Amino acid sequence: MIKNVALLREGSFRLRFSSSSEGSYEFKYRGRVSIIGDILKTVRDSSGKGKRKTQIMQSANLNYDQVNKYLAFLISNGYIKVERSEMHGGPVYRATSKGLNFVKLLLEAESLRLI
């Protein structure tokens, strides 16, 4: 019998623990939609300046390989655009209208607890 079950949201996973004698632990990692949403929310909140890859990695809690894979996907599907920044001297990433619309729909789904 599981007693005192709690669900905690900790960064990139959910931890489920109980006070049962078995001490079962269950980790649920983020799905692709959640990661894409985190990236788009990050570049959306950039106040028009755009975000660098390092900032996206830190904000979305991804490693270098993961952020490259997801950015390539988002760029190729038109959710993010890449521009050269004179201020930063390198590429910055901004959400397109398609990406902003996706974030809006995702936030609505989260508020309705569909996701």
Q: Spell out the domains of the chain, with CATH numbers in brackets.
A: 1-30 (no CATH), 32-111 (1.10.10.10)
Decide: 40 and 79 in contact? Cβ < 8 Å.
Answer: yes
pTM for the full predicted model: 0.71
Query: What b/e sequence results for 93-106 when a residue is b if at least 16 CB atoms lie within 10 Å of its CB, and e otherwise?
Result: bbbbeebeebbeeb
Express each pLDDT in 25-73 by its tens digit.
555 678 999 999 999 999 987 666 889 999 999 999 999 999 999 999 9
- Of all helices (H) and strands (E), which one includes residue 71? helix 64-76
Taking 3-state DSSP, the helix, strand and coil percentages for the chain, each rounded to the nearest 5, stand at 45, 25, 35
